[in-house]
Amino acid sequence: MGEDGESPKINHSFLRDYVTEADVISTVEFNQTGDLLATGDKGGRVVIFQRETESKDESEELGESGEYNVYSTFQSHEPDFDYLKSLEIEEKINKIRWLPQQNAAHFLLSTNDKTIKLWKVSERDKRPEGYNLKDEEGRIKDISTVTSLRVPVLKPTDLMVEVRPRRIFANGHTYHVNSISVNSDGETYLSADDLRINMWHLDITDRSFNIVDIKPANMEDLTEVITAAEFHPQHCHLFVYSSSKGTLRLCDMRESALCDKHSKIFEEPEDPGNRSFFSEIISSVSDVKFSHSGRYLLTRDYLTVKVWDLNMEKGPVETYQVHEYLRSKLCSLYENDCIFDKFECVWNSTDSVIMTGAYNSFFRMFDRETGRGVTLEAWRESSKPRAVLRTRRIYTGGRRRRGDVGVDSLDFTKKILHMAWHPAENIIAIAATNNLYIFQDRVNAENL
């Protein structure tokens, strides 16, 4: 690689726009304290960020927070091959879920289409020194040179983060795994694919328990698939799963071993006025999340986010339009496959605000108390570090203001699919293709 003289002549500008497919972020998740943020990408890698704790003094103000820096990076999944079916298995990380912390180490589950892995993330900042039989480099000493005995001592060393796979939960799924969810009991978790949901024990890898199976006896009768599943945050016997038909099913594992029969089914009758070729596609639920309180469910379908009360099955209690202006463009969105995009949705820590992604690097936040929504943009060019994020508007008619974006100029390749909200503070992590944006809300900071 010696032609340094020529490299300045090479125009690298095109490289900046080229995004390696493997770098596209496919999942984002905070841990339970919010100090760690994990991202998974299409190349099977996991990057963990840690929040820097600023030195605390007595005059520390509320909302003062540190930045997130890379803590560890590791290759979680490799491309695999199913020899029986001659199918390639993508290494893309579909979901990451953190386990509640029980000791100094952190544990997370990461999954691709077929295999779930439990990773242990631990720090090592001390190492033993002063061995009798080994020298400092680890070479065995000549015994004749050892004249005295000493006890090895632990000396501080540079921080090392070790990540090791502790469990590999393989061969549990025939179809593509779309969700994992850790149970509040701290011992089990569920994994859901298109047709089945399995329950695993965190310590047992060679067995899992099938709790939902919607595969019809005759695959030609297939009408719906499972799109997402989650355990209730407090009740370890309850979980919910969403389907491609737009229904949510709440299941109680105390009722029966196989929860094919739901305890509650949440569905909204279709509006006949909006019927089109694509009605079924846009009603498919792409994500479902319990509220922190456990009382509500948040679902995302193609055009809306809905809040459901667990006590009311006949329809959502709140519906928010994310990008209703796309309803007239469904045919083109079908052609370019955008209609199949699976957007995630998240609650804030107090369940008062919900957030979801959209196109053109936009994401939307809805305040449940006022019912109002704002559009924000995650785009490097328009936001500098520490700048205040300004709201954006889509021009759909009426008076056009400066800065409004027309519907036809939306960039559908820039989609915000994955996001996470800090469990306690107003800090959000937004994944935009291969970039991760972290926004903090400083409204509560006294220094503002």
**C-alpha to C-alpha distance for 222 and 65, rounded to whole angstroms:** 50
> Looking at beta carbons only, is 177 or 428 nearer to other proteins?
177
Q: How far is the CB of 81 from other proteins (least distance, A)?
A: 10
> Looking at beta carbons only, is 89 or 105 nearer to other proteins?
89
Can residue 335 be called a binding residue for other proteins (CB under 8 A)? Answer: yes
Can residue 277 be called a binding residue for other proteins (CB under 8 A)? Answer: yes
One of 267, 280, 313, 367 touching other proteins (CB under 8 A): 280
CB contact at 8 A, 322 and 305: yes
CB half-sphere exposure, 321, CA atoms < 13 A: 6
> Which neighbouring-strand residues pair with 34?
none
Q: What tokens appear for 56 in the block?
A: 């605390």
Can residue 337 be called a binding residue for other proteins (CB under 8 A)? Answer: yes
Q: How far is the CB of 432 from other proteins (least distance, A)?
A: 22
**C-alpha to C-alpha distance for 310 and 234, rounded to whole angstroms:** 14
Q: How far is the CB of 89 from other proteins (least distance, A)?
A: 7
Which among 70, 89, 98 has a CA at the least distance from the CA of 202? Answer: 98
CB contact at 8 A, 196 and 210: yes
Q: How far is the CB of 217 from other proteins (least distance, A)?
A: 11
**C-alpha to C-alpha distance for 291 and 350, rounded to whole angstroms:** 9
CB contact at 8 A, 221 and 233: no
Rg of the chain (C-alpha set): 25
Question: DSSP of 162-222, one letter per residue?
Answer: EEEEEEEE-S--SS---EEEE-TTSSEEEEE-SSEEEEEETT--S--EEEEE---SSGGG-
One of 67, 88, 270, 446 touching other proteins (CB under 8 A): 88
- Other Cβ atoms less than 10 A from the Cβ of 107: the count is 21
One of 131, 209, 325, 334 touching other proteins (CB under 8 A): 334
Stretch that binds other proteins, among 102-110, 158-166, 271-279, 434-442 (CB under 8 A): 271-279
Q: In the sheet that 345-347 helps form, which strands lie side by side, from edge to edge?
A: 345-347, 353-357, 362-367, 373-377
CB half-sphere exposure, 282, CA atoms < 13 A: 26
> Looking at beta carbons only, is 28 or 282 nearer to other proteins?
282
CB contact at 8 A, 313 and 266: yes
Can residue 170 be called a binding residue for other proteins (CB under 8 A)? Answer: no
- Other Cβ atoms less than 10 A from the Cβ of 225: the count is 18
One of 90, 268, 287, 377 touching other proteins (CB under 8 A): 90
One of 77, 92, 262, 289 touching other proteins (CB under 8 A): 92
CB contact at 8 A, 289 and 297: yes
Q: How far is the CB of 18 from other proteins (least distance, A)?
A: 19
Burial of 390 (0-12, 13-18, 19+ CB in 10 A): exposed
Q: How far is the CB of 225 from other proteins (least distance, A)?
A: 5
Taking CA atoms, 131 is separated from 66, 77, 115, 126, in Å, by 40, 37, 41, 15
x/- letters, 9..48, toward other proteins (CB under 8 A): ----------------------------------------
x/- letters, 313..332, toward other proteins (CB under 8 A): ------------------x-
**C-alpha to C-alpha distance for 268 and 262, rounded to whole angstroms:** 16
One of 74, 131, 175, 379 touching other proteins (CB under 8 A): 175
One of 192, 195, 303, 353 touching other proteins (CB under 8 A): 195
One of 64, 74, 122, 176 touching other proteins (CB under 8 A): 176
x/- letters, 282..301, toward other proteins (CB under 8 A): --x-----------------
CB contact at 8 A, 262 and 250: yes
> Looking at beta carbons only, is 85 or 386 nearer to other proteins?
85
Report 210-249 residues binding other proteins (CB under 8 A): 218-225, 227, 244
> Looking at beta carbons only, is 116 or 355 nearer to other proteins?
116
One of 29, 41, 194, 344 touching other proteins (CB under 8 A): 194
Report 98-117 residues binding other proteins (CB under 8 A): 113
Number of residues that bind other proteins (CB under 8 A): 35
> Looking at beta carbons only, is 337 or 408 nearer to other proteins?
337
Can residue 271 be called a binding residue for other proteins (CB under 8 A)? Answer: no
> Looking at beta carbons only, is 228 or 251 nearer to other proteins?
228
Q: Which residues bind other proteins (CB under 8 A)?
A: 82, 85-90, 92, 113, 175-176, 178, 194-195, 218-225, 227, 244, 277-281, 284, 331, 334-335, 337, 340
